[in-house]
Amino acid sequence: MGELLRQTWTIARKDLLLEFRSRTAIVSAVVFTALVLTVFNFGRDPTAVSALDLAPSILWVTFTFAAMLGLNRAFQLELENQAIEGLLISPLDRRSLYWGKLLANLRSFVAVVEAVGLPLFVLFFNVPVGHVLLPLLAVMALATLGFVAVGTLFSAMVVRTRFAELMLPVLLLPFLLLPLTYAVQATARLLADRPLSEVAGWLRLLAAYDIVFLAVASWLFPYTVDE
């Protein structure tokens, strides 16, 4: 177990260092988030549908597609100079590779995309979130974990295929429908000032999705990377 954790951290640390140096995925995901929120802000008719009704869907659709950009990059950086072969020849436990990539994706996505996206969302849609910030952060954390758990697996599956950037959304989006629905429902209730008891059920569903897909993805991952 200690070796698994040590290798996981080695992979995550390397990925974060590479992302910090190149800034490829983070910059593109942040710019994408800002642009999509801006487009939605100017592209809606505020007299037809209230911001409160639209906001949860817009927030989560934006985060979902921004996540695709980051997830696409997760294994592509291993194709540079065929580093992936070096990883597979080494005594690295395949599960460590999965968990290391997952950690790095979470860090990139949560720390940057959502940290930038949420304030922009509040600014553009004039939706106060201060009073529900903690439960909203819980929804974001659980939904993001589910997205990244499945996305990291599919990112590894498609990386050596042709048209990987097209394949990832096609394969991944059907699996994100459930957490996306749960997250939108929970966010809508939070923004509408509904009692927390109405949100708890959605949070439990998100947590259940995370547990199931973390376990399944961790189990399946070695089969996706070995030839």
Q: Which is nearer to other proteins, 7 or 108 (CB)?
A: 7
User: Residue 121 is encoded by which pair of tokens?
Assistant: 């969302």
What is d(CA 71, CA 29) in angstroms, rounded to the nearest whole number?
10
Residues that bind other proteins (CB under 8 A): 3, 6-7, 10, 14, 17-18, 21-22, 77, 80-83, 85-92, 226-227
Nearer to other proteins, 14 or 107 (CB): 14
Nearer Cβ to other proteins (22/126): 22
- Measured CA angle at 66 (ends 10, 117), to 5 deg: 100
| Least distance to other proteins, CB of residue 168, Å | 22
Minimum distance between the CB of residue 78 and other proteins, rounded to whole angstroms?
Answer: 9
Cα(114)–Cα(179) distance, integer angstroms: 16
Alpha-carbon distance of 72 to 90, in angstroms, equals 24
Least distance from C-beta 13 to other proteins, angstroms?
8
Compare residues 24 and 181 and give the one whose CB is closer to other proteins. Answer: 24
Of 75, 81, 67, the closest CA to residue 28 belongs to 67
Residue 163 is given by DSSP the state T
**Minimum Å distance from CB 76 to other proteins?**
12
